[in-house]
Amino acid sequence: MSVADSPITDEAQARRLAVVRQFGTFTQAYSTAVQPHLEHFWHADSYVAYRRKWGVSCVLADPVGPPDGHEVNCDYLSARRTSRGWA
């Protein structure tokens, strides 16, 4: 069974995989969609995969989405700054 034929377990993962199939042109794109224990921050049609541990948020890879949609980085950082009280 190929990755394309594998069953998708939930709608959120299906949405991520659809974006990866269309825009995932870098080596870690697939991992951002399926790796366990990651959270996903969405902005329009783009997302950033990250994990929070010990009070630190680490982004796994580049954002996945259309090339003109990379303002997701700014929105992600802004949301983290606000929620964490960063100056």
For 3-58, the pLDDT digits (tens) are 444 455 689 999 999 999 999 989 999 999 999 999 888 888 888 898 988 888 88
Number of domains in the chain: 1
Which helix or strand (DSSP H or E) is residue 30 part of? helix 29-34
* Domain region containing 69: 3-84
Distance CA(77)–CA(87), nearest Å, equals: 11
Helix (H) or strand (E) holding 51: strand 46-53
Rounded-to-integer distance, Cα 28 and Cα 86, Å: 28
Residue 18, pLDDT score: 95
d(CA 19, CA 13): 10
